Structure 1
Amino acid sequence: MKTIAIMPIKLSNERLPGKNTMLLGDKPLLQHELVTLRKTGLADEIYVYCSDEAVCPYLPEGVKFLKRPAELDLPTSNFTQIFAAFSSAVEADIYVYVHATAPFITGETMAECIRAVQGGAYDSAFCAVKIQDFLWKDGEPLNFDAANVPRSQDLEPIYRETSGVYVFTKEVFARYRRRIGKKPFVKEVSFKEAVDINNPEDFRLAEAMVGLDL
C-alpha cells in the first residue's frame, strides 16, 4: 500500500511569526518531525506542502516540496481544504499528516501509528493524552459524582487529541471528509510528545525541553 506523508507549512504565522523555521536546538522547528519521520522508513514519499519556495532550503534530504495555492495560507483555511487540494495532486492508499509544531513525537510513536493502519486492523490513527482529572462543565461535574468523589485514578479516562501525527486511509477522507475514521488506533503519548508550539510561551517551553528525557 502506497503511504504518503504531508507536512503543511505556512511561513507567515499569526501567533508566532516565522515559527516553523525558527531554530529549536540544533535545527529549524520543521526539521524535527520530518527527520524523525524519514528515519522510520515507512513513508514512500514525504512532502512539505507550502505556498512559498523559500521553505526549500530548510527541507531535509529526501523531503519533497509541493507548492500549494496561496489562498490556503488564509487564517480561515482548515484541514479539509488543505488536504483536499493535496490529495487531488498526490495519490496514495494511506496518508500520514504531520505538523511541524510537534517536534518531540518519537519515531516509535510514528511507526506504531503507521503500522496500525498499514496492517488493516484500523482505518486511522492519532495521538492523545490521557486525562484523569475532576472535570466540570456549566457549573456541574462532568465525569464524577460530587456527592461521592472517587479516587482520581478510578475516574474513567478521557483522551485529548494532540497534533503530532495522523494516519488515515484515502477511504476515510473520501467518505467522512476528516482524518479520523470510525475505527481509530489511539496512541497515548507522553507530556513531552504532546507539546504543540503555537505561541512564544510554547516555544520557550520546547527550548527548555530539548535534550531532556521526559
Structure 2
Amino acid sequence: MKNYLVLIPARGGSQRLPGKNMRQLGDKPLLGHSITYALRNGLSDIVITSNDAAVLDFATQNDVQIVERPDVLAGSEEPVVTALQHAVNQLQKKYDAVILLQPTNPLRPEGLLKEAIAVFDREDCDSLMTVSRNEHKLGTISNHQFIPYNYEMGQRSQDLEPLFHENGLLYIFKTELLKQGKLLGAKNYPLIVDHPFAEIDIDTEADFIKAELYLKHFK
C-alpha cells in the first residue's frame, strides 16, 4: 500500500468569485468539503497550502496541517504545480504519491476516491485523472461559418465518437513526478466518472448556485 498525501491548494485572491474557498456551501465552507471527503475515506495526512489567512485559520481550527504559500506562488497566472512542490518540500514526512483535491470541485461521488486509489495501486500508474464523457456537438467558427469538429451535420448525438474531458474531481500522481514539475506522467490513467457531480467546477456565482442545487438534489 502506497503512502498517500492529500494536498488541497486554496489560494486567496480569486477575481471572479472573491473569497470563494471560504464561502458557505451547505453546512460548511467550500474548502471544508474536500477536507471532509478525505477524512471520510480514511486519509488523515492532509495539507492545505494557502496564502489566505482565513483559509489557514479554518484549517488549523479543524486540525489540518497547513503550509503558508508565498504570495509569489499565489498569483492568478501561477501554475498550481509550483505551490504543490513548495508544500511537499516543507514537509518532514516523505510520501509515495499525492492526491490533489481542488476546493473548486467540492462535490464528489462517495466511492470515487477509494476506487481511484485501488486503480492507481493496481495499474502502477505514474498518474491518474478523472474524466467525463463529452456529449456536445463541437465545432469551430471560421469566416462566420460553423465547422463541425466531432460530428457531421445531421448526425445523432448518441452516435458521436466518444470524447472525454478532465473534470477536475481528483488527481493522483507519484511524488517523484511532482519533483519534475509534472502532475500527469507518461503512464496516466483516465478514470471515467459518470455522475452529475462531475459537472461542478466553481469559478463564478452561477457555478456556486448550481453547486447548491446539486448538493441538495444529488445526495
Same fold (TM over 0.5): yes
In the alignment, structure 2 segments of 5+ residues that lack a partner are none
Report if aligned partners of 1:47, 1:63 keep a CA contact under 8 Å in 2. Answer: yes
Q: Is 1:182 the counterpart of 2:172 in the alignment?
A: no
The number of aligned residues is: 210
- Distance in 2 of aligned mates of 1:44 and 1:182: 29
The equivalent of 1:197 in structure 2 is 202
Q: Post-superposition shift, 1:152?
A: 2.1
The equivalent of 1:49 in structure 2 is 49
Normalised to the residue count of structure 2, the TM-score between the two structures is: 0.85
Q: Is 1:108 the counterpart of 2:115 in the alignment?
A: no
Q: SS of the residue aligned with 2:196?
A: coil
Report if aligned partners of 2:109, 2:195 keep a CA contact under 8 Å in 1. Answer: no
The within-5 A match list for 1:132-143 is: 132-138=135-141, 139-143=146-150
Normalised to the residue count of structure 1, the TM-score between the two structures is: 0.87
Q: Is 1:16 the counterpart of 2:23 in the alignment?
A: no
Per mean C-alpha deviation after superposition, the further-off stretch among 68-77 and 26-35 is 68-77
Q: SS of the residue aligned with 2:111?
A: helix
Once superposed, what is the RMSD of the aligned Cα atoms? Answer: 2.1
- Distance in 1 of aligned mates of 2:27 and 2:204: 20
- Distance in 2 of aligned mates of 1:187 and 1:46: 25
- Residues 56 and 80 of structure 1: CA distance in aligned 2, closer, same or farther (over 3 Å): closer
Question: Residue type matched to 1:29 in 2?
Answer: L
1:37-66 Cα distance to aligned partner (Å, 9 max, x none): 11101x351001012443244227452111
- Residues 198 and 61 of structure 1: CA distance in aligned 2, closer, same or farther (over 3 Å): same
Question: Residue type matched to 1:154 in 2?
Answer: D
In the alignment, structure 1 segments of 5+ residues that lack a partner are none
Percent identical among aligned pairs is 25
Q: SS of the residue aligned with 1:127?
A: strand
